[in-house]
C-alpha cells in the first residue's frame, strides 16, 4: 500500500514564528488532504491539494505530485494553531506533526 511520511514529528514554536511541515508519499496521487486535529480531538479539513498551491489566510499548501511531496506552511503562528497536523493520501494517513505554539 501507499506509504505516507511526515516530518518533523514534533515542532515547538513561539507565537508569531513561521513553520513548514512536510509530507512525503510513495505513489502517484490524485487525492491529498491536510488536516488539523485540535487539542479537543476534532479533525478539521485544511486543504484538498493533489497538486499545485492553495492559500487560506495564514496557511498555505503546495503539492509537487511529480516529486511526491507536499508542504504545509503556517505563517505568524498563534497558540490556536497547536495540535496535530496530518497529511492523508487517499485513505492513508501519515503519523502527523505535533505542533505546540507557545505564547
Partner 1 sequence: DTAVSQTPKYLVTQMGNDKSIKCEQNLGHDTMYWYKQDSKKFLKIMFSYNNKELIINETVPNRFSPKSPDKAHLNLHINSLELGDSAVYFCASSRTAGHLGFETQYFGPGTRLLVL
59-62, long-range: CB within 8 Å, 24+ apart, which pairs?
A: 61/34
Give the binding range for partner 1 (CB under 8 A) out of 15-23, 36-44, 55-63, 73-81.
36-44
* 56 scored as a contact of partner 1 (CB under 8 A): no
* 66 scored as a contact of partner 1 (CB under 8 A): no
- The whole-angstrom separation of Cα 69 and Cα 4 is 9
Q: Which three cell numbers stand for residue 85?
A: 497536523
Residue from the set 37, 62, 75, 82 that interacts with partner 1 by CB under 8 A: 37
* Maximum alpha-carbon separation in the chain: 40
Per DSSP, the three-state class of 67 is: helix
Residue 90 CB, shortest distance to partner 1, in Å, is 5
Beta bridge partners of 47: 34
Residue 41 CB, shortest distance to partner 1, in Å, is 6
The footprint of partner 1 (CB under 8 A) covers 29-31, 33, 35, 37, 41-45, 48, 84, 86, 88, 90-93, 95-96
Amino acid at each position: 500500500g501507499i506509504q505516507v511520511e511526515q516530518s518533523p514529528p514534533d515542532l515547538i514554536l513561539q507565537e508569531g514564528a513561521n513553520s513548514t511541515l512536510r509530507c512525503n508519499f510513495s505513489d502517484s496521487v490524485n487525492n491529498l488532504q491536510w488536516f488539523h486535529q485540535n487539542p479537543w480531538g476534532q479533525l478539521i479539513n485544511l486543504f484538498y491539494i493533489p497538486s499545485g498551491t492553495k492559500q487560506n489566510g495564514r496557511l498555505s499548501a503546495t503539492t509537487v505530485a511529480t516529486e511526491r511531496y507536499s508542504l504545509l506552511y503556517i505563517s505568524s503562528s498563534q497558540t490556536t494553531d497547536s495540535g496535530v497536523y496530518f497529511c492523508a493520501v487517499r485513505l492513508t494517513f501519515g503519523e502527523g506533526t505535533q505542533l505546540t505554539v507557545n505564547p
